[in-house]
């Protein structure tokens, strides 16, 4: 069944890309308990920084990657410090933070559009473009690389959240801020770290997605919707679950288009998102806490 | 005063004030952050456009737009019955995405991304609104009636219940009020007016496509309500005018025309962020957005 194999391969690739976006988003949500939709802007930002460095400067490829990731990490941190933190300080609800994050996403998308133009940009770097065939499905080296990166991120975050001190502190702050403070955990610092690490992941995502697809200023919206959907399917507050949820979404979309016209690919994702929000908002692996009203 | 350029903006102010006030009814008075409101506007626009294309008189299309959007408003609130805060906001956003992808994919009905062209001018019992000035008068009449009607709702005893739902839902339930029923009624009323606004939009622009009702529009209408001030009807009207007039300054700057849309979005999102951070009650509001 070459068709089934190709759909499976496509599902894995799509799932890996969504997982790259979802993991950082879920990490930030898990610690701070608000939806950082502008994470999509961080991903796009990374793609354009890499483009800028390779197109306009003589920085070598690997140097450009390091610079891009550092810039993107701090980009996320700045968003937190200048927008979300002031809002939190005046006791704004998480819904207001959500509205602010959508405003940030729209702001940066359009700023990129003004700065670089609305047309598609290709990052000037030729990745090894050999392809492999597995059971009749075709996959490129870059796509294999994306899959491996997503897998490594999954393992790393799983271990990080479970065993490292910082990961434990993040979970403690997420669970009970006051109690964590009593134990001497500085929740401000933990929030800073979550934005740094989450946006670091956005940097990795932006580079790989930028190389695999091409750059458009509006790509962040679609990516964050997918990443967010993946996170909701798995369980939005729990990072490893968001990665699994992203693969569920990737497979659902790609097997779905075997049955439906291909235009329905995004619609499948939206319907799954809507159904999960209504019926199982805590996700497949999450704990139903603070989701439903006490009605 | 009466140059076509100016008339065009005033007509849009009329249409978007109806939409903004109807969103304010939901957001400002019951505290439900409905990110799917633009979808109701879109449902109204499509209903009216498709019905009149199929030969129905304008009046039928116009009121069906309101009723269909009201029905969808009911569906949103009924489906999300158990969700609160963020999750309500996200589910309503998810709803907007679902509606958006239906507009794109139900091509036999909506012609997908091509949109619907050549929507007829309103014909009100044989009187066709041919010129912009006539349309302007029509929009002003409808906007005045709609906003006046919503004002009546807000100032009625029912309106006081709406404030109470926002401030202390549990307290209101203790008093034996069915707060969910109150929310349902509000969404139906707000949906109805959003649908009417959609119909006015469709028959004015005479071309609609799915992207007219997507994320950037959500931010636009949400900006109006938050900048004007939640629970302030006059604030929403003033903010609609401001937000439609401010970007006109851009016309005097040496910008490529394909960047105008992006510049407008930049202005709206910056204004929205500034208000959220520095003046959460908006320009004319009396209640802080929390």
pLDDT over 90 (residue A172): no
Confirm if B277 and A83 have CB atoms less than 8 A apart.
yes
Among A120-129, B6-15, B133-142, which stretch is predicted with the lowest mean pLDDT? Answer: A120-129
Domains by residue range for chain A, with CATH: 2-279 (1.10.3470)
**Rounded-to-integer distance, Cα A258 and Cα A267, Å:** 14
Where are chain B's structural domains? 4-211
| Best residue of B262, B264, B280 to probe chain A, by most A CBs closer than 10 Å | B262
Residue A287 or residue A47, greater confidence: A47
- ipTM (interface pTM): 0.88
Tell me the pLDDT band of A288, cut-offs 50, 70 and 90: low
Q: Give B91's contacts in chain A (Cβ within 8 Å).
A: 274, 277-278, 281
Measured on CA atoms in the order B7, B12, B18, B24, is the torsion positive or negative? negative
Cα separation, B267 vs B248, whole angstroms:
11
Tens-digit pLDDT profile for residues B200-253: 999 998 888 888 777 778 888 999 999 988 888 888 999 999 999 888 887 777
CA atoms within 13 A on the CB side of B95: 27
What's the pLDDT tens digit per position in A110-134? 999 999 988 898 888 777 778 888 7
Question: What is the pLDDT of chain B when averaged over all its residues?
Answer: 86
- Which whole number is the average pLDDT over A166-188? 84
Enter the pTM of the model: 0.90
CA distance B193 to B72: 12
* pLDDT for position B2: 66
Give me the residues paired with residue A134 across strands.
Answer: A137
B221 vs A contacts (CB less than 8 Å)? none
Phi-psi region of B3 (alpha: psi -120 to 50; beta: other; left: phi over 0): beta
Q: pLDDT per residue over B141-187, tens digit each?
A: 999 999 998 888 888 888 888 777 787 788 888 887 777 888 888 89
pLDDT at B1 (0 to 100): 55
Burial (Cβ within 10 Å: 0-12, 13-18, ≥19) of residue B118: exposed
pLDDT at residue A153 is higher than 70: yes
Q: Which of A262-266, B71-75, B103-107 has the lowest mean pLDDT?
A: A262-266
Rounded to whole angstroms, the Cα distance separating A100 from B167 reads 22
**Closest CA relative to residue A272, chosen from A286, A251, A292:** A251
**Which chain A residues touch B180 with a CB distance below 8 Å?**
295
- Residue B277 CA from chain centroid, whole number: 24
Torsion of CA B164, B167, B173, B177, to 10 degrees: 10
Is residue B289 pLDDT above 60, yes or no? Answer: yes
d(CA B203, CA B193): 16
pLDDT of res. B14: 93
Compare CB distances from B98 to A91, A261, A270 and report the shortest one's residue: A270
CA nearest B261 in A: which residue? A110
> Does A277 lie at the interface with B, CB-CB under 8 angstroms?
yes
In this complex, do B219 and A34 lie within 8 Å of one another by their Cβ atoms? no
């Amino acid at each position: 069944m070459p068709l089934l194999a190709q759909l499976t391969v496509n599902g894995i690739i799509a799932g890996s890309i969504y997982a790259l976006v979802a993991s950082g988003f879920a990490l930030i949500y898990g610690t701070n308990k608000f939806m950082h939709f502008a994470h999509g802007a961080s991903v796009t930002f990374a793609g354009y920084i890499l483009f800028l460095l390779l197109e306009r400067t003589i920085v070598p490829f690997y140097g450009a990657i390091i610079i891009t990731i550092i810039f993107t990490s701090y980009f996320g941190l700045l968003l937190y410090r200048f927008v979300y933190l002031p809002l939190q300080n005046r006791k704004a609800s998480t819904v207001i933070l959500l509205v602010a994050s959508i405003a940030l996403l729209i702001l940066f998308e359009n700023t990129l559009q003004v700065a670089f133009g609305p047309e598609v940009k290709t990052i000037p770097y030729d990745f090894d473009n050999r392809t492999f065939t597995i059971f009749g499905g075709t996959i490129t080296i870059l796509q294999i690389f994306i899959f491996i990166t997503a897998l490594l991120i999954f393992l790393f975050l799983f271990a990080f959240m479970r065993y490292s001190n910082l990961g434990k502190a993040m979970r403690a702050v997420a669970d009970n801020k006051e109690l964590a403070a009593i134990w001497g955990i500085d929740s401000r610092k933990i929030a800073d770290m979550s934005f740094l690490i989450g946006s670091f992941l956005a940097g990795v995502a932006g580079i790989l997605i930028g190389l695999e697809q091409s750059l458009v200023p509006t790509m962040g919206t679609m990516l964050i919707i997918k990443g967010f959907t993946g996170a909701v399917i798995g369980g939005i507050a729990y990072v490893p679950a968001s990665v699994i949820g992203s693969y569920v979404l990737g497979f659902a979309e790609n097997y779905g288009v075997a049955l439906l016209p291909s235009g329905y690919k995004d619609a499948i994702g939206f319907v799954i998102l809507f159904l999960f929000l209504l019926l199982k908002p805590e996700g497949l692996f999450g704990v139903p806490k603070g989701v439903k009203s006490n009605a | 005063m009466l140059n076509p350029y100016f008339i065009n903006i005033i007509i849009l102010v009329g249409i978007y004030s109806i939409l903004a006030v109807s969103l304010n009814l939901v957001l400002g008075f019951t505290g439900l952050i409905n990110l799917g409101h633009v979808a109701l506007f879109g449902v109204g626009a499509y209903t009216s456009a498709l019905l009149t294309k199929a030969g129905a008189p304008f009046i039928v299309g116009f009121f069906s737009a309101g009723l269909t959007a009201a029905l969808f408003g009911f569906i949103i609130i009924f489906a999300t019955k158990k969700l609160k805060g963020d999750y309500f906001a996200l589910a309503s956003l998810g709803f907007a995405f679902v509606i958006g992808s239906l507009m794109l994919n139900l091509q036999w009905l909506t012609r997908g991304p091509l949109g619907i062209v050549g929507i007829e001018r309103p014909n009100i019992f044989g009187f066709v609104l041919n010129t912009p000035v006539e349309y302007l008068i029509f929009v002003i009449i409808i906007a005045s009636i709609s906003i006046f009607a919503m004002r009546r709702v807000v100032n009625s005893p029912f309106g006081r219940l709406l404030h109470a739902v926002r401030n202390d839902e549990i307290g209101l339930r203790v008093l034996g009020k069915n707060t969910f029923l109150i929310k349902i009624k509000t969404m139906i009323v707000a949906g109805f007016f959003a649908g009417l606004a959609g119909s006015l939009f469709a028959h004015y622009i005479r071309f609609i496509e799915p992207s007219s009702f997507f994320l950037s529009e959500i931010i636009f209408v949400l900006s109006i309500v938050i900048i004007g001030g939640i629970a302030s009807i006059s604030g929403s009207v003033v903010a609609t005018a401001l937000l439609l007039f401010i970007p006109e300054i851009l016309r005097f700057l040496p910008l490529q025309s394909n960047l105008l849309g992006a510049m407008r979005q930049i202005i709206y999102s910056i204004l929205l962020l500034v208000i959220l951070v520095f003046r959460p009650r908006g320009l004319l509001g009396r209640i802080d957005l929390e």
